[in-house]
Structure 1
Amino acid sequence: MNNLFKRKLENIHSKMLECHRDSEKYSSSIIGDEREIFQTNLLSKILPSNFRFGSGTITDAKGIETGQIDTIIELPFSLSFPISTGNNRLYLADSVGAAFEIKSNLYNQWDEAIKKIKEIQKLNRYNLEDNEMALLDDLKIPTFIISYKGFKNIDTIIEKLGEIESRYWPNGILIIESGIFLGLKNNTHYECVGNSSSILGFVSHLYTFLNRYSKNIVDLNQYSRLLK
């Protein structure tokens, strides 16, 4: 049987890994290359065209800000503001569909990746009124760690996550070379092993979040308090 779907996913996986290997020797540009490879060879080829991709800083209506975020997906019809240097932008937390920390080797860069995830998790999509309740999934920006190399099995990742408060867990971790994806949601998880399965698991998990929040509307009045 000529399984076109499986072959397409495997080709995407191979292309991403091949492009990363080609750029590994050029240390001065590797961070930008990793981001570009991920955006060009996966996100922009699969997700609908009404999602915009970029990088930069995110702020919420309380004025809490992140540092530089590798890759950001904006929700459709959302707003962001250009920054004069390069292609970076200033994003409003309400308008972010997902944020990604992209690493060359998660085995060596785990602490750095988790530190960035914690930065993003400090933001809220909207302000809670007194005594108002909200699900963390609705309040927080979905976050993902993407690494070209790293841990070889999912059990090791789960052990590493056990050292961190669950509220700071990313929503998913994809290690491309190892062909593994761990999806996390509401203190439960699911595992995908294999080159095509890991890509499909990641895309499916990401799309669930994007589809859920695609109709969010940014309330700019919330941000007016930052002008005082």
Structure 2
Amino acid sequence: MDNVPAQYRHGENGFDRRLMEDLANAGFRCYTINQIPDRTAPKAIPIALDWLEHLEERVPGPETHHRDVLRCRLIHRLHDSAARGNQRAIDVVTTQIRRRPPRSTASAGMAGQVLARIATARHFDEIVELFNELDDDSSDKFFLTAYFGKVKTTQSRDIVLPYLDHWAVIVIPALIKMKATGVRHLIEPHLKNSWPPTRTYARRAMERLT
């Protein structure tokens, strides 16, 4: 990795030589963390976590395009089954969601998607607390809704139901996954939803739920 192509300039557009070297030491021959080809890369998880925990120290100052790109790529790397149930990863992603000032629109929703994937049923109370903190126009909150499908309880059902009419495309799959009862009559109107994916999920729910 000594001869870095000219297109990669340290401190620009998400390229950081230090991160490249950390990845190389872990066996990843790539210039940026998003170039790791594997869908799951357990050895990359601690590197991504360490960088997110110390990002403002390593790239100080106001949020620049470079740091924003770095942040996006590091968060996205945690969208990995290898991070599932990892408390440190869950804490780090939660911190990113709570970050003030908020992350850029470029990464809006990404942390919510990641957290919905890696949090498990035992993290329910943590996720509920975070979910209730977020504004209803938050992209992270929208994607985090999917998490509740993992928890097959009436409490989980009742948390997502208020969002059914606005976020049907993500709420209905969550209701299906948790095998929710007593919701078919609420889902039925979405059989005529204007968006095809929502109609598909509604049909599936009517077939599977009691």
- Relative to total residues, which structure has the larger helix share, 1 or 2? 2
Kindly indicate whether structure 1 or structure 2 has the higher relative contact order, using CA contacts under 8 Å at least 6 residues apart: 1
- Relative to total residues, which structure has the larger strand share, 1 or 2? 1
> TM-score, structure 2 length as denominator?
0.28
Query: Which entry has the higher C-alpha Rg, 1 or 2?
Result: 2
> TM-score, structure 1 length as denominator?
0.27
